[in-house]
Structure 1
Amino acid sequence: MDTVRVNNEVGRLKRVLVHRPGPETRRFPHGEFALAFPLRPTSSDFDLARAQDEHDALTAILRAEGAEVVELTELVGETLAFAPEAKDELLDRFLANCRIEGSELTEAATRYMSEAADAEQFVTRLFNGIRYGDTDLDASDRFPLAALTDSAFDPDTFLSSPLNTAFFTRDPLSVIGGGISLNHMYWHDRNREVDLLQTVAEHHPCFADTPQWFGHDSSFHLEGGDIVNLSGHAVAIGLSSRTESLAIDRLSQGLLWGDGSSVTDVYVIEVPQSGNRLHLDAYLSPIDGDTFVVDPLLAREPRVYRLRRARRRGGVRIEPCSEGLARILGAATRGGPVRLIDFGDGGGPMAFEYGNGAAGILPLAPGNLCVCAENLAANEALVDAGMTVHPVSIQEMTVGFGGPNSLCLPLVREDL
């Protein structure tokens, strides 16, 4: 089996990357949770046991449908065990993204990490964060005047905050065809999740020679929720509040001209911004070979651009698409007419369901879908359309920020 290959979003799911929420979700200081969750302002509001039960139910569905489930922490641990020399490289990048300033703080954090007994404990410490109290910075013999005047470090304050949103595995890395995009996240703290995956991509033996279409060192923001594989030759990218046009330019150049890429057409779709829905995959989801779920906000007046190779090597030619979304998607998939399903105009119960991941669907195979259990009207509409649904409750993990697709990074899918 290929290590990575995703030419579409609906072929049978063969391998998927996930992260089960762990103690890192309960370790934020002074009550904060994360900027990514304005609807959940404090860590005490996060029920870890419930979130783990939700995640276990999700992965049980994945396994029952034949997918190999890969845990992020185990994959990073395997990488460091195979290539111990990668540990220092990862730590340097990771601490730089923590914005630790100065030699004393950097050295203290490095000493603490170097004392980890093995790769597993090293990864656990990265996920759980580094408090001042974990280091020797508050030792009275190191800074005696600070200790005497009670102006030393607060032992509960973090030098490196926990990775408490790492269970959203779709965003930091994207698989496009037989290559990957190491994304540049909107929230700076989440770039440390990309650091982990960059280490895997560069040092795990299974990822050797995997092409990279976009580099994490880019100056511009790009997130995986805005990338939707339409076919082996076409990909849709959302122009959203989390993905910049400049990043799409760079990614498109990599896809259209990169060695090993089969992509000939990049469709850039401007993403409406409504409530918690931030990415293209919250408005558009392929669910069968010729069927898409589409939010009426996107379908009503879509603004779409088609990017193809220009004559000059490395250049990109841009054409506005004036057709309706169905014709655009039909051309992208080269499969003839496509069917668009929506769940109504967003009034009544759908006002909740659209904002609760109704379009954030995870296909397990064509027409075989993992969906949010709470979206009763949307799920009924899918069944009426001939789909098989596997409802799962993920409310504790997502708080409405996405559906099951946000919690899973497909690594391998069958071609259609």
Structure 2
Amino acid sequence: MNNLAINVNSEIGKLKKVLLHRPGKELENLMPEYLERLLFDDIPYLKIAQEEHDEFANILRKNGVEVVYLEDLVAESISKNDVKLQFIDEFIEEAGIKEDRETNLLREYFQSFSNKDMILKMMEGIRKTEIKDYKLKNLTDYLNNDYPFIIDPMPNLYFTRDPFATVGNGATIHKMHTVTRNRETLFAKYIFNCNQTYKETKLWYDRSEDFSIEGGDVLVLNEKTLAVGISQRTHPNAIEKLANKLLTEDSNFDKILAIDIPKQRTFMHLDTVFTMVDYDKFTMHPNIKNDISVYVLERDNNGKMIISEEQGSLEDILKKYLNLDKINLIKCGGNSIIDAAREQWNDGSNTLCIAPGEVIVYSRNYVTNQVLQEEGIKTHVMPSSELSRGRGGPRCMSMPLIREDLNK
């Protein structure tokens, strides 16, 4: 196993390498009448969103982080022609294209691009007007004639946290909760199967599984403990399946904390409830209940999976499993219910930790940012007027590939 390709044993170890996706023309294929279908509440202005994302990448680079882009890794992964053709066919099939006529047109269309441009085009989505020989033929074609796309855009891709997660020296490729986002994980499949750097990575979960899990629910608390949210988008059966593999194979983890959070959009993933910003400090959703149910999955001395329930405050549970005397939960928006509601809507508690006590935050969440600073956290503030319209913060937009291990 290539232990140097992936190394993530905490949420706060100094970030050395990260995967991003710079938002592209897929955002310009968002239409008001289809926002719900594509899991968006608004339409970001692409030019400004890209400028904001570039500043995000610049902050990372200025702090010693190597930035790699999803489209580049996928393009490298399909450098062999037979792999490229297989990838095209699989993408077309997963886009729901069943007619041979459309499949052949799209296969020819995709092959007309360079590898990277083809990947960007797949992400962007295919308008019917782009395929010159596209004609209505079947009854289904006529019934769907008002819908302008042959293949839907993938506007959620700039949230690279969700399609897969890095855990220890391995990764989990996810089955997403919605059909809309499940095609995103195809890119991860080819990275971890075909890319020269990543193809030996140990996989703890695969996209072919029956139950959904998403990366926003996966938090690496330390080298022994993984937290996973039981959320709107992560099924408890997926967590148990992950535990059965992670806690038995070549892994340093010995327990998973399955944290039960409300099943609603405002608590979409665990990282919208809390994120780790220092050894003993977390940002916190202001509306999370003081008492929370946590299920601990671990192996007994005979190697049998055992599950026990912990009930109590989030603070006490984190203290226990992180072996700390004190935990500081920093509320998004401070003590103002109005500021908290507004800034939580813009992911004020979704920060990206780049070193212990050092985080990247959205500029618009200025109340929360000030509270963090008062608690001794160093904040790197990025512009956020357009990126935030996608309902995800700096942690959502990043997938760490390498973090330095914490001093033990």
Q: Percent identity?
A: 29
CA distance in 1, matches of 2:143, 2:341: 50
2:315 to 314, 320, 326: 326
Question: TM-score scaled to structure 2, two decimals?
Answer: 0.91
**Taking structure 1 as reference, are residues 123 and 404 closer, same or farther at Cα in structure 2, changes over 3 Å only?**
same
User: Would you say the 8 A contact 1:133–1:154 is kept in 2?
Assistant: no
The total of aligned residue pairs comes to 401
Match of 2:124 among 122, 128, 145: 128
Asked if structure 1 preserves the Cα contact closer than 8 Å seen for 2:159 and 2:392, the reply is no
Higher mean alpha-carbon deviation, 329-338 vs 262-271, is at 329-338
Equivalent runs, 1:17-416 vs 2, <5 Å: 17-28=19-30, 32-33=34-35, 35-40=37-42, 45-81=43-79, 83-116=80-113, 118-135=114-131, 137-138=133-134, 157-258=148-249, 260-273=250-263, 276-298=266-288, 300-310=290-300, 313=303, 315-343=304-332, 344=334, 347-399=337-389, 401-416=391-406
| Counterpart amino acid of residue 247 in structure 1 | A
Maintained 8 Å contact 2:41/2:390: no
Q: What's the secondary structure of 1:122's corresponding residue?
A: helix
**What whole-Å deviation, never above 9, does each CA across 1:311-357 have from its counterpart, x for those lacking one?**
665x4211001343223222322354333222445612222112221
Cα shift readout 1:115-167 (whole Å, capped 9, x = no counterpart): 33x21232122122233344464369xx6xx8xxx969959832211222210
* 1:78 to 1:38, Cα distance in 2 relative to 1, 3 A: closer
Cα gap change, 1:123/1:384 in structure 2, threshold over 3 Å: closer, same or farther?
same
The alignment's TM-score, normalised by the length of structure 1, stands at 0.89
Give the CA deviation at 1:6.
Answer: 0.7
Q: 1:76 is matched by which residue type in structure 2?
A: V
Deviations 1:205-244 (A, max 9, x none): 1113211000001111111000110011100000010111
Pairwise CA RMSD: 2.5
Stretch deviating more after TM superposition (226-235 or 267-276): 267-276
- The amino acid across from 1:126 in the alignment is M
CA distance 1:339–1:68, change in 2 (3 Å) = same
1:156-192, Cα deviation, whole Å (9 max, x unpaired)? 8322112222101000010011100001112212111
Counterparts of 1:406 and 1:369 in 2: how far apart (Å)? Answer: 13
- Supply the distance in 1 between the matched residues of 2:223 and 2:300 (Cα, whole angstroms): 20
Q: What amino acid is aligned across from residue 187 of structure 1 in structure 2?
A: T
Taking the aligned partners of 1:214 and 1:262, their CA distance within structure 2 comes to 16
Paired residues of 1:184 and 1:191 also in contact (CA < 8 A): yes
Cα distance in 2, alignment partners of residues 84 and 138 from structure 1: 26
Deviation string 1:59-80 (CA, Å, 9 cap, x unpaired) is 1111111100111111111222
Could you tell me how far 1:197 is from its partner in structure 2? 1.3
Segments of 5+ residues of structure 1 without an aligned counterpart are: none
Distance in 2 of aligned mates of 1:201 and 1:36 = 26
Does structure 2 retain, via aligned residues, the 8 Å contact 1:275–1:355? Answer: no
- Runs of 5+ in structure 2 lacking a partner? none
CA distance in 2, matches of 1:294, 1:156: 41
Change (3 A) 1:98 1:384: same
